[in-house]
Structure 1
Amino acid sequence: MGANLGSEIRKRRIKFNLTQEDLAELSNISVNFLSQLERTNNQNISIKKIESIATALNTNTPELISAAYKSQPDNIESNKSKSYFLDKLNIAIKKLPEKEAEEVSKHLFYVIKDLTK
């Protein structure tokens, strides 16, 4: 399965008593996209969308990603998904302006460091 960011987002959305429509509006994404993210293991999401959702959920991107990893079983399939997800993040970071990429990279460094404890 791997890290399921959608499950973590859903859990936090419910904690704040937000509907999918509320969170979609607050994070400037479509309800359909949010619904699919929460329902499936499709983790094809840009770092900017993760940041937007995290902000709407009163958290930050590294915390949201870290929580998604921590809630998953540690097995071979999970490790494959982690690697895939980190590769996708790396690609997304490379597309950002240099200053923004550096800031996101710093936060991700702390997440990765925390995951390897």
Structure 2
Amino acid sequence: MDYKKLGSRIREERLKLNLTQEILAEDINISVSYIGQIERGERSLSLDTLFKLAHRLGVTIDYLLQDSLKTSKENSINQFANLINNRSQKQIQMALDMIKVLFSHLDNKD
């Protein structure tokens, strides 16, 4: 886990909401020094704290962690599978068609 990248993402989202470290820390019941250490990547955080941060910042945990996690082809396939879960066949086909167009465009740029 890359705590510097996670902290940077948390800081970025906090600033988008015009929140100070003090307000964010108070809202999720942690100390100001701890939120500063998290944002600088100096401290790890519990799942509970990560959940509270994501909820307060209005983002998902996977969004906060996306820069910290190494992606693999299998992980990407699982993400695609989750995106199409509970979608109609028509919606799935539309998404596939869009991906085909995107890849065709990317292939033409190389």
Give TM-score scaled by structure 2 length. 0.57
Residue type of the alignment partner of 1:18: L
Q: Does 1:54 align with 2:54?
A: yes
| Superposed CA RMSD | 2.8
Larger radius of gyration: 2
Contact 2:28–2:52 under 8 Å retained in 1: yes
State percent identity of aligned pairs.
36
Contact 1:27–1:56 under 8 Å retained in 2: yes
Where 1:51 maps in the other structure, the secondary structure is: helix
C-alpha displacement at 1:14, in angstroms?
A: 0.5
Higher relative contact order (CA 8 A, sep 6+): 1
Classify 1:21/1:115 alpha carbon distance in 2 versus 1 (closer, same or farther; 3 Å).
Answer: farther
Stretches of structure 1 that go unaligned for 5 or more consecutive residues are 70-81, 84-111
Superposed CA offset, 1:78-113 (max 9, x none): xxxx58xxxxxxxxxxxxxxxxxxxxxxxxxxxx82
Runs of 4+ in 1 over 6 A off after TM superposition: none
Q: Distance in 1 between matches of 2:62 and 2:18?
A: 22
Residue type of the alignment partner of 2:33: N
Aligned residue pairs, count: 75
